[in-house]
Amino acid sequence: MTSISQNLRYLPHTLETRYHAVKTYQNGASVAFICRRYKVSKASLMRWNKRFDGTKESLKNRTHRPLTPHPKAHTQQELTWIKNCIRRNPNATL
């Protein structure tokens, strides 16, 4: 028996569940039936159906990482300076 760790708020749906739920929806089954059978919300089903293009890969989770770094983020040279300062002064605090 597998246990769910405490930091997971919900059990994520597998790719197979998403795929079969969308295929069932496209075959004409009612939304209420699909939501009960696969234990998904209507919003999730509609979101998956919207991005489904016929392949399972289209239903994979997408990253939330931004495509570009933040404009005010430290440059690589600044990060090196900070690391060197911390290395030279390990007991220094703010």
- For the stretch 15-59, pLDDT in tens is 999 999 999 999 999 999 999 999 999 999 999 999 999 999 999
Evaluate if residue 93 carries a pLDDT over 70.
yes
pLDDT of the residue at 38: 94
Domain for residue 93, yes or no?
A: no
Domain for residue 54, yes or no?
A: yes
Domain span including residue 21: 12-61
Domain for residue 72, yes or no?
A: no
pLDDT of the residue at 65: 87
Domain for residue 57, yes or no?
A: yes
Domain for residue 78, yes or no?
A: no
Cα(18)–Cα(51) distance, rounded to whole angstroms? 11
- Angle between helical axes of 31-38 and 15-26 (0-180°, round to 10): 160
Looking at residue 91, the DSSP 8-state letter turns out to be T
Cα(41)–Cα(13) distance, rounded to whole angstroms? 11
Number of compact structural domains in the chain: 1
Domain for residue 25, yes or no?
A: yes
Type of residue at 81 = W
Q: How confident is the model at residue 3 (pLDDT cuts 50, 70, 90)?
A: low
CB 54 within 8 A of CB 23: no
Domain for residue 89, yes or no?
A: no
Q: How many CA atoms lie within 13 A of 45 on its CB side?
A: 21
Cα(1)–Cα(17) distance, rounded to whole angstroms? 20
